[in-house]
A and B are shown apart, each in its own frame.
Chain A
Amino acid sequence: MRARGRRLCLLALVLALAGLLMPDASLRTPPAALVRVDSASGVDHPREVLWVLALGSDAREGQPPLRSRADAIQLVGLNLRTGSGTVIGIPRDSWVGIPGFGSDRINAALELGGPQLMAEAVAGLVGIRPDYVFVTTFTGFKSLVTSIGGVTVDSRLAFTDDNMVGSIRQGWNKLNGPQALFFGRARHFLPRGDFDRSANQQELLRAILRKVRAQQDQPGFMERGVLSATRNLYTDLSPTEIYRLAQGATRVDPERFHGCVVNGSYGFVNGASIVFPNREQARRIASDARADAELDGGC
């Protein structure tokens, strides 16, 4: 009993000393903290909503990229104010009217009349005229992905291809330049062929955006990318315009960057396999996203 009393007295003494000697909580630096961080971003660009026609040219070494067929056709809408984006994929074999050349596969427009005619052909199908046309080759695309240290894509499907070397597993895949090119080109073993491939290209765009945004805070990262663009792009934009465009494009949040692929049905014209695009769907998507690059009604 007495021992217990002594222990209680000792405890009381320790507590009293602690109370006297320890500084008041308000005077100490807490060992941990939880604070709110709010952020804001904005970029001034002459256009609030930009539409960029992104083309993958299938030009081989020595061939002019601007006068070769387009292997990938993606119409990208970027809302620099809200940070949202929309991408509309167009199957390359879509049978459309090409101004001055009758009807043909849409990818022939680049070969027949360069970026301008390609923009007109896309506008004729979808109803949105792009502000810029971006053309890259297989080599250029691989270099782009390599320069940002590869990308990570979320694949809906596992697939390989009988024409190209590569394999993709379902779910997340970390890809280097050549692997990313495979992901964007392979179609033979995809259930919906060109339609699935177009969706994969959209996932690639999303992955590139994710990667660039993750690194844009690194000192010099954006500047390195812009310098590389001025050296490797065939362009009529001034370097300052490229810089502002690049800074604006990275405002778009990958989680708010949604894509649709224009559907259609396979058919034959003069013995050649083509796609009859669903024009009504293409127009509906474009009508939904034209003003704000947001897909309110889905695909």
Chain B
Amino acid sequence: MTTQAEVARPSGVAAKAGRRYGVGLRGARRVRQDADVHAVTERRYDVPRTRRRVATALSAGLVLMMALSGCFWGDSGRDSGGASGRDAGAGIENSAADGGQPVLPALALRTGVTRVIGELEPAARKRLARTVDALVGRYLKVAFLDPRSRSDTSDEAATSRFPGFTPGARAQAVADRRLLTAASLRDADRVTPVLATAYVSVVAPQGKPVGATARLALDLRVSADEGNRPVRVRVRGRLLLTPTSQGWRIFGYDLAQSGAGPEGRRSR
């Protein structure tokens, strides 16, 4: 039986007269020779409904508490733009309370490894889920919820908006920051996350995760001053992740951002 397809990487070192091509398959590892077997092991994991309900209830409770605290305790120091009250308590204002480092709001990011292509132990799956939660959560907070992502959109500042990105991905993301951060929301007084999910498909040959795709859905309620109706901004797409020597990193992205217009009574 023969292997049906091959990829060889020239292994020579670039030299002045041109690279020397070592035998591309030197040291090659024959993983499997049966090309007729294309079936792959795939497991799907739904986010447990009860857990979702509990999470939803907790989120709702938390949001309600924060909203009430905002109403009762006021927010005079921050709300210079004329917006009244604090919507859901999760929004942050354009000017930081202490004029320095703003406190980023808690982001109720829902993550989970929903598809395992290959084999992955439950413990490893949970570890990966925690890693993605931290990685994606930090990016979303810094890129979309930190007021500085709207107030300072310079090249220099933008390089700090992509924590957890590989250097090459960060360089490209800086160029695409209008869509990968809240840079286009300069006039917003308040940006409040109303939906944040990142569900992960991971490929794990021989029990080792080698790459993953996080499907991202982020909805932001964006409020301007002077009583204008808030608008909903949606970010959708994929974040591509891979393990590196520094741990898991985002090495690619494919994201779309859209404004869905004013929020209506029935809009979701």
- Give the interface of A toward B (CB within 8 A): 26-30, 33, 35-46, 59, 61-66, 81, 114-116, 119-120, 123, 129-137, 139-141, 143-144, 146-147, 217, 219-220, 222-224, 226-244, 247-248
Contacts and interface: CB of A to CB of B under 8 A. Distances in A.
B240 interface: yes
A233 B6 contact: yes
Contacts of B251: 43-44, 244, 247
A43 B240 contact: yes
Most-contacted residue by chain A among B36, B118, B205, B262 (CB, 10 A) = B205
Contact of A234 (B10, B11, B28): B28
B123 to A, nearest CB: 20
B24 A242 contact: no
B47 to A, nearest CB: 13
Contact of A40 (B3, B180, B229, B262): B180
A177 to B, nearest CB: 11
B252 A42 contact: yes
A137 B33 CA distance: 13
Contacts of A229: 5, 7
Interface residues of B, number: 81
A244 B166 CA distance: 12
Contact of A227 (B29, B40, B229): B40
25 contacts: A33-B261, A39-B237, A40-B180, A40-B255, A40-B256, A81-B172, A115-B6, A116-B8, A137-B2, A137-B35, A139-B4, A219-B115, A227-B41, A227-B118, A229-B7, A232-B4, A232-B5, A234-B25, A235-B7, A236-B24, A236-B26, A237-B7, A237-B9, A238-B210, A243-B210
B38 A143 contact: yes
A242 to B, nearest CB: 7
Contacts of B37: 231-232
A254 to B, nearest CB: 16
A256 B167 CA distance: 27
B132 interface: no
A134 B208 CA distance: 24
B35 A140 contact: yes
Interface stretch (B68-76, B93-101, B195-203): B195-203
A136 B253 contact: no
A133 B257 CA distance: 37
A30 B256 CA distance: 23
Given A114-B25, A116-B23, A227-B117, A40 B176 contact: yes
Contact of A132 (B10, B167, B210, B256): B10
Contacts of A40: 176, 178-180, 253-256
A233 B38 contact: no
Nearest to B18: A129
Most-contacted residue by chain A among B29, B203, B265 (CB, 10 A) = B203
B243 interface: yes
Nearest to B201: A220
B223 interface: no
A129 B22 CA distance: 13
Given A115-B25, A220-B42, A39 B255 contact: yes
A140 B4 contact: yes
Interface in B219-268: 229, 237-238, 240, 242-243, 251-262, 264-267
A136 B4 CA distance: 6
Contacts of B243: 240
Interface string B159-184: 00000011111001101101110000
Contacts of A38: 178-179, 256-258
